[in-house]
């Protein structure tokens, strides 16, 4: 019983530390111009560039807009905040604090996650108000936004492990991954139309499952069963969290 109480107390302490880190990032970095541009305006303009003039229905386009907005917004906080804190030497103090590396990674991921939840509301509201895009099933939408946001927030934390003091260095590497993900994940090209010879690549993208799960809220036609989407996003979250912990430990030994 004592061991259980000790474990619970340690867990609460770690979660409290993670929340404190996330709250600090929210207060400092949410209103930075580069965060706003990369999190909202860039995916919006990219989406419009490919969507204007296409005969796709709004029930297909709006889930895609939500998905890529989550991709960019969730992964934009940590690549900016962590290099700046390395430059100011505050990240070193954070690593030397009496908390585990897991709490640090979780806290940094939570900041991007919460930011992304707020940003994802914008395309959702646009779809509901300006276009005839009714939600047929609210559960996949809520679960899809939450899991996809946390998945890509963790991916941003993973890339931010690279030991640099320049946010541009990390953003450059991150965009080499984010941009291809858009085109292989069924956002603009339905998975059913992707040639069989290269379709296996789409299964390696977490955006594939996030977009498919969000799409299930607007249409009954999805490529995977929602349970498969949820399971795969959770797998990617675990992979990103594990890899991030290993890299932060390696680069800060």
**pLDDT 10s digits, 54-107:** 655 666 678 888 888 899 889 988 888 889 888 888 887 877 777 888 888 888
Q: Across all residues in the chain, what is the average pLDDT?
A: 83
Answer with the residue of higher pLDDT: 222 or 133. 222
Q: How far apart are CA 169 and CA 160, in angstroms?
A: 9
- pLDDT confidence bin for 46, thresholds 50/70/90: low
What sections of 101-225 are H helices per DSSP?
101-129, 138-159, 167-184, 196-202, 206-215
Q: How far apart are CA 136 and CA 77, in angstroms?
A: 32
State the average pLDDT over residues 149-164. Answer: 93
Q: Find the Cα–Cα–Cα–Cα dihedral 222, 227, 230, 232, rounded to 10°.
A: -90
The answer to whether residues 63 and 105 touch, using CB atoms and an 8 Å cutoff, is no
Q: What global pTM score does this model have? A: 0.88
- Using CA of residue 41, residue 47, residue 53, residue 59, what is the dihedral sign? negative
The answer to whether residues 215 and 188 touch, using CB atoms and an 8 Å cutoff, is no
Judged against a pLDDT cut of 70, whether residue 1 lies above it is answered with: no
Answer with the residue of higher pLDDT: 90 or 150. 150
State both tokens at 18. 């993670």
């Amino acid at each position: 019983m004592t061991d259980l109480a000790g474990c619970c107390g340690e867990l609460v302490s770690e979660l409290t530390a993670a929340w404190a880190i996330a709250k600090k990032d929210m207060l400092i970095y949410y209103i930075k111009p580069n965060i706003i541009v990369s999190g909202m305006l860039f995916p919006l303009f990219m989406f419009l560039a490919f969507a204007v003039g296409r005969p796709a229905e709004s029930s297909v386009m709006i889930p895609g807009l939500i998905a890529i907005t989550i991709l960019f917004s969730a992964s934009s906080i940590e690549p900016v905040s962590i290099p700046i804190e390395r430059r100011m030497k505050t990240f070193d103090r954070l690593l030397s604090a009496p908390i585990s590396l897991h709490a640090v990674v979780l806290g940094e991921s939570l900041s991007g996650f919460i930011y992304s939840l707020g940003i994802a509301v914008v395309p959702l509201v646009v779809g509901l108000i300006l276009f005839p895009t009714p939600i047929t099933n609210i559960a996949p939408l809520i679960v899809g936004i939450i899991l996809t946001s946390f998945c890509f927030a963790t991916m941003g934390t993973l890339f931010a492990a690279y030991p640099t003091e320049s946010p541009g260095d990390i953003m450059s590497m991150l965009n080499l991954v984010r941009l291809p993900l858009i085109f292989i994940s069924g956002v603009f090209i339905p998975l059913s139309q992707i040639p069989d010879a290269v379709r296996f690549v789409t299964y390696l993208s977490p955006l594939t499952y996030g977009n498919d799960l969000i799409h299930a809220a607007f249409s009954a036609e999805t490529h995977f069963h929602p349970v498969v989407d949820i399971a795969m996003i959770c797998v990617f979250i675990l992979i990103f969290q594990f890899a991030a912990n290993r890299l932060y430990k390696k680069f800060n030994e």
